[in-house]
Structure 1
Amino acid sequence: MKIAVLAANGKLGSLIVKEAVERGNDVTAIAREENRTVAKNFIKRDILDLTENDLKDFDVVITAFGAWTEDTLPLHKTTLEHLTDILANKNTRLLVVGGAGSLYTDESLTTQLFTTPDFPADYLPIATNMAKGLEVLRKRNDVKWTYISPAAEFVYDAERKGEYQLAGEVFTVNTKGESKISYADYAIAMVDEAEKGNHINQRISVLWK
């Protein structure tokens, strides 16, 4: 399978590349700076400069883009607008590293976590902007997208357990009452979805069992 990983040099992007390569996939890393991943194939390019031609040969495009500063937060929406435009009416699937703040509090799917009074103020700007990106996807029936939200505690240097559980639109905790996952195990879930394509045009979420 031919997989492109955007923002591949980041902490999560590089782990997704590693997971995909180790499974024998044909992986191309795409980033603005020199390749710092294990991928042998590399395209040096900003996401907003990518064209239909750049992505036409891939089965799956994974975007691990993330931004934290006030001036770059809107790119969570802008990059997905661009990617959905150039992947419209294509067989290429678009997989997106999402956020947990846009998960719903219950099955009524009326209240999202980031709109609740107890949501951490420090994370409100990024949660709001990532939710706008999800809304871009929801409006596109001409793109085969999947949005994967991590657990509330998304920990870079936590262990790789090699397992996870899938959930859907509703915020979920495990039997310990925790919503937590490592970057490494999230990468496993992402590559599983890339290989299987079980949740096209859906948002799913992942956490430790």
Structure 2
Amino acid sequence: MSKVIVFGATGYAGSVIAAELVSRGHYVQGVARRSPETAPEGVSFITGSVHDAEVVRAAVAGADVVVLSLPASATEEGGPRLVEAIPAVVDAVISAGARLGVVGGAGSLNAFEGGPQVMDIDAFPAEFRPEAQNHADVLQALREGPADLDWFYLSPAGGFGAWAPGERTGTFRLGGDVLLSDDQGQSNISGADYAIAFVNEIEQPAHSRQRFSVAY
């Protein structure tokens, strides 16, 4: 059993990851800006922000794995972006001897082998580009970070989100830096199957200091 701290455990991806971890017997503590009205079964919570270095250090102490499942853009006008919290998170994770797992974005994946990033193609909705770029900035910060930080960053399929929760199948493909699509050109993954892939990586590390991707 591992002790896993999940920043953003009340959100779409964070909640399904927390539930998957609990189902496999891990101890899960969520960190959220507000206490949830109904906490996911088996998950304890502390209140605080990832942008508060003292909260981060206290929450991460004694953890085996730390999960960031948070919006990459500022959550309020003029507020900090997730990438601005990365230095303090990295310091705390290294001090704890833990591993860092990040729920990433699909926009920074290559649309095809040798091609542009998904967020740079004409069909990518302009309103989503800032969040995609901010996720890409987090990934870049990890890649340029301390060599003794063990991290992984899991990019979902293009069709991933609370608007398309899908079903748990347990069947999916893993890739690298290129967007995965099916035979019909669709790129999808359910929340539950994304969580399976994420927790599999926690239990059986195979992508140390790497971004990888998941889709059907």
Same fold (TM over 0.5): yes
TM-score computed with the length of structure 1 as normaliser: 0.89
CA contact (8 A) 1:2 1:27 kept: yes
Match of 1:17 in 2: 18
1:89 Cα offset (Å): 5.8
| Of 43, 51, 63, the match for 2:46 | 43
SS in 2 for 1:38: coil
Deviations 1:68-107 (A, max 9, x none): 6573785231232331232236531100000000002344
The CA distance in 1 between the partners of 2:29 and 2:56, in whole Å, is 15
Query: Residue type matched to 2:91 in 1?
Result: D
The CA distance in 2 between the partners of 1:57 and 1:2, in whole Å, is 8
TM-score computed with the length of structure 2 as normaliser: 0.87
SS in 1 for 2:51: helix
Change (3 A) 1:57 1:70: closer
The CA distance in 2 between the partners of 1:146 and 1:73, in whole Å, is 26
CA contact (8 A) 1:34 1:44 kept: yes
1:118 Cα offset (Å): 2.8
Unaligned runs of 5+ in 2: none
Match of 1:185 in 2: 193
Change (3 A) 1:107 1:91: farther
Query: Residue type matched to 2:205 in 1?
Result: G
Alignment RMSD: 2.1
Query: Residue type matched to 2:6 in 1?
Result: V
CA contact (8 A) 1:89 1:142 kept: no
Q: How many residues align?
A: 207
Deviations 1:110-142 (A, max 9, x none): 732212233221211111111111111110123
SS in 2 for 1:41: strand
Question: Identity over aligned residues, as a percent?
Answer: 38
The 5-angstrom pairing of residues 1-209 of structure 1 reads 1-35=2-36, 36-49=39-52, 50-66=55-71, 71=77, 75-88=81-94, 90-108=96-114, 111-140=116-145, 141-156=147-162, 157-208=165-216
More divergent stretch after superposition (60-69 vs 22-31): 60-69
SS in 2 for 1:124: helix
Unaligned runs of 5+ in 1: none
Change (3 A) 1:56 1:126: same
Deviations 1:142-165 (A, max 9, x none): 311101000001143211222221
CA contact (8 A) 1:20 1:27 kept: yes
1:172 Cα offset (Å): 1.9
